[in-house]
Amino acid sequence: MSHGEPNPIVNAASNAIAALRADDDQIELAKAHESLNTKAIEKLEVAEARQQPTVKDAVIAMLTKRGQSTDPEALVPGVTMKTITVDGAVGALPANVYTPQGVGPFPVILYFHGGGWVIADKDVYDAGARGLAKAANAIVVSVDYRQAPEHRFPAAWDDALAAYRWLSQNAASLGGDPVRMALAGESAGGNLAVATAIAVRDAGLPAPRHVLSVYPVAQTSLNTESYLENAIAKPLNRAMVKWFVDHLVNSEEDLKDTRLSLIDADLAGLPPVTIVNARLDPLRSDGAKLESALRDAGVPVERRDYEGVAHEFFGAAAVLQKARDAMAYAGDRLRTALG
């Protein structure tokens, strides 16, 4: 077996399970991703892992095959994007600013991309952030926080809080309303969104009105029901999560930190939270556990679990019906909260 190639037996089993459980369009997307010769991230060095084809690349491949436009502005009309820098914890961070059509000032959503705190960036997650700008009729600021292993835990969390502080002071310069702010993120970014809401509360900063957390990491055991059920799922599997965490933490002690293990954090007094999960995702149970912990803390929370789709589905609205459904739901929840 050559370097980084997926185990052929595990690969065949994963595909067979997906064929039974996944929606037809999700299966098509998975096949498009596999056709790009993706390697097993958990077998790679970080530099090579960061070069692997993404689900975004698979969406583009599907659209191209169908003869459809791959231009982001055609896929999500009425949203413009520019790149700025915002203040992180130790220096400037690049950020994409997505602005909907119409007359501002608009509500402002600070968005954190996924990638296990190790790979991917704001551009890989363009579709999720751009879609939210349209669906929520809000300015979305998607920030590139520092990543591990060059910047291990808690660098990303420190940057996330610093970016929120910057945005609360500078929203007006972007055409936004600093009184109507929200936090959002996918996967690792879904964790950052909730963790930042906690940090904002503890720092006494102006509170966001809502938190959208899409398939978040919310605890650190790899033995939850969904980790075992979806151990060899695609595009995220149990071994990959372990690889991400191993590159992230300084020691086992970090795994107990409530910024990673959100379900053990003091969640009281947080703004209302919306959680989006996918059935075919090792992180599904994390979302369910977070919902329970928030409810126990008296935080208004609503969670939707989408059947037949996998991790990373949320940003694939160009090709997945459930992604369109989830985006509309998230947009509606944010719009209502942000007024």
- How many residues are given for the chain? 339
35 is an active site residue: no
Report angle CA 77, 59, 46 to the nearest 5 degrees.
Answer: 120
Structure tokens at 254: 């970090």
- Which parts of the chain fold into alpha helices (H)? 8-21, 24-34, 46-49, 55-65, 72-75, 126-136, 155-170, 188-203, 225-229, 238-248, 284-296, 321-338
281 is an active site residue: yes
Q: Which amino acid is at 220?
A: T
Pick the closest to residue 304 from 296, 314, 315 (CA basis). 314
- Name the catalytic one among 121, 159, 281, 286: 281
SS3 at position 235? coil
- Name the catalytic one among 187, 213, 226, 285: 187
311 is an active site residue: yes
Tell me how far apart the alpha carbons of residues 275 and 321 are, in angstroms, rounded to a whole number: 18
- Name the catalytic one among 33, 210, 247, 311: 311
Q: Are 25 and 319 in contact (CB under 8 A)?
A: yes
Q: Which amino acid is at 108?
A: V
* Residue 203 half-sphere exposure toward CB, CA atoms < 13 A: 17
Pick the closest to residue 143 from 187, 80, 101, 185 (CA basis). 185
Give me the active site residues, please: 187, 281, 311
